[in-house]
Amino acid sequence: MSPVEILRHPDASALADAVAARIITTLVERQSAAGHAHLCLTGGRIGTAALAAVAASRGRDSVDWRRVDIWWGDERFLPEGDPERNETGARAALLDHVDVDPRRVHPMPGPDGQWPDVDDAAAAYARALAAAARPEDHAAAPAMDILLLGVGPDAHVASLFPGQPAVHDERAVTAVRGAPKPPPVRITLTLPTINASREVWLMAAGAEKASAVHFALTEGAGVLQVPAAGVRGRDRTLVLLDEAAASKIPASLGRPSA
């Protein structure tokens, strides 16, 4: 597991722009090295803002979007096109504005698709991940070159909520019922799949995230109650914060974004 790198940004807008620049640079570097890249998206305010910033960037076309596989870390189990789906927000913010290969965009299923039962839908997504995995990934999923995660005020990541069984699930993907944040039924990658990623980037903006960030970065924090404390990339783990979200960690912890 990689050590945690903390980068501070003046505000949410600067954070979104910085994440966007990093996404573009990292995808270009990965495509240069391997010919393709895997990008795993998140929802939420800052995650969607970062995607919109990619779309608005003059550098976005330096990425060969047709050679990027797009995945999601979690999804609300709602019909295709529902405004609450992370997929819907990602398409509006970025994917509808770049030349992606539709065959390489992998949304999580909803109840209106082939698998109306959430457990069957989660299993289907696990099969899609396994089919894309390569021997060098050493996991039942491709090693994501970038896996984006927001951090909730309760320190949840993806749809791994404190105290819920999904936090300890060893399968690649699992269904979630009774999530404390609506809607209650969801699909999520599990910690083993998240932690098989090359790079994991946790993002948080706003004072309401400050306590969660503090607990996530506290040594010895229990993963069951602080799921954000349990995520690490194989090669790199970035915690990308605005100053409001960083307000409860020591000023000496982390460094300003370049």
pLDDT, one tens digit per residue, over 160-188 is 999 999 999 999 999 999 999 999 999 99
pLDDT value of residue 135: 87
Taking the domains of the chain in order of start, what are their residue ranges? 4-256
Residue 258 has pLDDT above 80, yes or no: no
Fold of 4-256: Rossmann fold (3.40.50)
For the chain, list the strands marked E by DSSP: 4-9, 37-41, 68-72, 74-76, 146-150, 173-176, 186-189, 199-204, 236-242, 255-256
- % the chain with pLDDT above 90: 92
pLDDT value of residue 257: 72
Q: What is the pLDDT of residues 62-85, one digit of tens each?
A: 999 999 999 999 999 999 999 999
pLDDT value of residue 252: 81
Q: What is the pLDDT of residues 80-130, one digit of tens each?
A: 999 999 999 999 999 999 999 999 999 999 999 999 999 999 999 999 999
Kindly state the DSSP code that residue 19 receives in the 8-state scheme: H
H-state helical runs in 57-176: 86-93, 118-132
pLDDT averaged over the chain? 96
pLDDT value of residue 255: 79
Residue 244 has pLDDT above 90, yes or no: yes
Q: What is the pLDDT of residues 9-24, one digit of tens each?
A: 999 999 999 999 999 9
- % the chain with pLDDT above 70: 99
State the pLDDT confidence band at 53, using cuts at 50, 70 and 90: very high
Q: Is the full-model pTM beyond 0.95?
A: yes
Q: What are the residues facing 160 on neighbouring strands?
A: 157
